[in-house]
Structure 1
Amino acid sequence: MSGDSPTGSRRSRSRRPTLADVARLAGVSTTTASFVINNRPAQISERTRERVLAAVRQLHYTRNAHVTALRRRRAQTLGIHFHDYQGGQFARDPVLGPVLIGVAQAARSHAYHLVVFTGAPDRDGEVPVEAFLDGRADGLIYVHAPPGDRLMAELAEVELPCVVVFNRYAPPNLGFVDADNITGAQEAVRYLAALGHRRIAHFTHGIPNSNLEDRIHGYRLALEACGLPFDPRLLVRGEPWLDAAAALAVVRRLERPPTAVIAFNDALAVQVIHAARACGLRVPEDLSVVGFDNSTYATVVTPALTTMAQPLVEMGRLAATSLIQLVGGAPPSECRHLAPMQLIERGSTAPATARRRSRWR
């Protein structure tokens, strides 16, 4: 077979097939081939259309994404960046992994590619905003931007469309997708109060995190609404990370120790359950425990964890569709969303009983 034939093996190894190759094999003009491939309206017979599509399949022809991007002034690609996560750890994270799945699903359904920005290879420390402005992506999904984040502030000053995930306090010209953490924490407190708990602790970390602060705020609001006094000794924060065993030992020494603990997330709640068991407390007979997220941690512990579920995959989808809307010219005010949380009741919670206090001693 001739080496310069459009179907020749030498050609297939030396260069990618072109529109002209498709037209030549189908016996049509390049204009006709272009109309068929791009599904543009034209007076083209079904027989001719089938010849063009058969040539496309035979040659494994694909449109040049860079040329298409130049013509449309878009890369047809969404970027995603995870704050302070290196080496692809986000893919294994029980919270961030589902978000990434949702983003990828929505991007694919809208014919967008997805590129993960892992940082600036030639620079240490914080990622500069310029890393996202080279045209590789039409917009950016920024996950876990902390309060007062420099990069988030800089993204608000450039023309790159951006949606922030897990921070409802993003600047007004950015989109955001977050769970309603204040209402979620309130629901967790109300649920435990309805079970008869009057001493409800909140264990959390000390890292800069808007979700963390919102959950503390919701916890305090709900205590007041339920007529339960706020005891600052029952709000235990890490510096920056909380040691669940040490926190439990502190509240255990109180004259009136808690009968229930709300943990910042499922991972911390699991640590509380293990720490309780290590010091002779039964969950839920002596101590009820509630987490946040409904991650994989919630079902790999015994007893299974009662938790406030975030719709993580759906939040990822919503972030991607919101970013696509921003790219298309939608105002940021239409791309700012709070997702409701849902209480998932499992075996780590039970009604308060009179014998709980004696078990703590």
Structure 2
Amino acid sequence: MNEHVAVVDLGYGDAGKGTVVDALCAASERRAVLRFNGGAQAAHNVITEAGRHHTFAQFGSGTLRGVPTHLTRFMVVDPLALAGEAAALGNPFHLLTVDGDALLATPWHRGANRRRELARGGSRHGSCGMGVGETMAYALEHPDAPRVSDVLSPARLRRRLAAVRDALGDGPPVDDVVDAFTAFGEAVRIVGDDCTERLLTEGPCVFEGAQGVLLDEWRGWHPHTTWSTTTFDNVAALCPDFLRLGVVRTYTTRHGAGPFVTEAELGLAEAHNGRDPWQGEFRTGHFDAVAHRYAVEVAGGVDALAITHLDAPDRSPGLRICTSYRIDGGTWDRIEPGPPRDLAHQERLGERLRRAVPGECHRPDDWSAAIATHLGAPVLLESTGPRSTDKRMYPLGVPALT
């Protein structure tokens, strides 16, 4: 696989993007892992062959293999969270470059995010509580929102951080944050937008996405979505030619509130996923071929699939693939995409999906082949466990669709 690969989750997140990126880095030499959306709210679990575990947030999931990370301009960078993650990894700052145009998440963004979510009471949106959405919202209203390059100019950084503090409310002293962010600027290499182009010319790279297409800011079920473009669109803005790899589990999951048509108790407990104080419960359900087909369509198609948790059907005899919904007296086997950037439409769609129940369901003999057929793409990677040794890679088109 001597080409660039973009890894995108076709569900609500948590499908295994981290372990897939790690496996791609183990299978062939990679120049870098490029993060192209989201921020410190990512939770990509990787377990090495030797058993070392790390949950990646801002560092790329190839870090344990010595593959450099580049945080592109589409990232929301949280220097304080990054420092904690770096410490857990042994401070591999030599493997990290950060685009100076990326937005900075601050303690005031995080505080405002959490106050807003708490005020919603029982109607929470399912935020991760990390302030990523608040950072994006602030930047839309304030052209002088703090960016990574500001850490190289303490006077400008202090002015912009003070403006955030004044707009969003109480938090730590501005000077303390200035000091911490300035130290971040001394530890990392801050680069221009040409760094992405240079990395892409130096060798095959992996683009690592965050969250999932069904949480996309424009295509998910608003308002239970992220302030981030989770499709391949950001990758396409950075790279003209890449393989589109969609990641799915053999069962569908959702962390937090929002419509979930195929939700069911399947007896599939997870070591690294559970109730989160901000997102809420970790929910499971039958494989939702209808929603995943929608994700493929609104993402612009996929070239191949990575299917994880192929051990789950053996552990859950009741697990099925859902291929249609019953809704409002009719049957849906396709969710028709709405107009671009129409949040009112997405909210109405979400309300309809709350009334939907599974229609036709079946249990296949060959889960990988069945999912490939339902989503119309060949399988590149199969995973039966968390380590790279639990993965099987195929030449594209093998096994063929059946």
Q: TM-score range by the shorter chain?
A: under 0.3
- What is the TM-score with the length of structure 1 in the denominator? 0.26
- What is the TM-score with the length of structure 2 in the denominator? 0.24
Larger radius of gyration: 1
Higher relative helix content: 1
User: Whose RCO is larger (CA < 8 A, sep 6+)?
Assistant: 2
